[in-house]
Amino acid sequence: MAANGKSFLIDTTKCTACRSCQVACKQWNELEAESTTNRGTYENPPDLSANTWVLVHFKESAQSDGTVAWNFARNSCRHCVDAPCKQRAESGDSITIDEETGAVLFGEGTQSESFDTIRQACPFNIPRQGTDGQMYKCTMCVDRVHNGELPACAKTCPVGAIQFGDRQDMLDAADARLAAIQSDYPDAAILDRNEARLLLLLGDKQSMYTTVVGA
């Protein structure tokens, strides 16, 4: 793998839940829109699917002063460094690791894998199965990255909540950002720092982001 591959840094303290990342992912990957209903939340659609690879979760919590706190966090494949989904796959070709970036990629061969096995192997409940039997999720936009472009979500985020680059640079940026915000966000933490290529920097306790952490 080239150097140590690539990583995302998702800074939830900057995210405004505009969901430009969701739209950019669908546009670049030509994924169909979902048919949804109003569930009383701005979170939409309600879940990842074969056609929704990036989702911004909303968690609304009543505060003691009568106000409501909103916490937003992006959910998508973490591109695990030692991906459990790949470890459980029967075939070495159905789930592959991109040499340049370290991205975990689902191919047509996932049609022949057990969906239950692959989904249960994933600690983050990410894989989804399409009507064609193939499994789908974020690709890290390797087609863009191989041509020197940022992933579509990182390119489009208007507030800089999604950074993407060499893994060590993202680890350093995550550590620096955590140190910089800890006086304002005493419960801030970087989730799965050593295990994931998607570094999720939460500004609040994990319990405030239940739909992401416990998905």
The binding site for ligand SF4 (CB under 6 A) comprises: 77-80, 83-85, 104, 122, 124, 126-127, 137
Nearer to ligand SF4, 19 or 79 (CB): 79
Residue 54 CB, nearest approach to ligand SF4 (Å): 13
Residue 129 CB, nearest approach to ligand SF4 (Å): 12
Residue 137 CB, nearest approach to ligand SF4 (Å): 5
Q: What stretches of the chain adopt beta strand conformation (E)?
A: 6-11, 55-62, 68-75, 95-97, 104-106, 128-129, 135-136, 162-166, 189-191, 198-202
The three-point CA angle 151-22-73 to 5° equals: 95
Nearer to ligand SF4, 86 or 177 (CB): 86
Nearer to ligand SF4, 88 or 155 (CB): 88
Query: What is the three-class DSSP state of 121?
Result: helix
Q: Which amino acid, one-letter code, is at 210?
A: T
Is the Cβ–Cβ distance between 190 and 174 less than 8 Å?
Answer: yes
Residue 122 CB, nearest approach to ligand SF4 (Å): 3
Nearer to ligand SF4, 124 or 164 (CB): 124
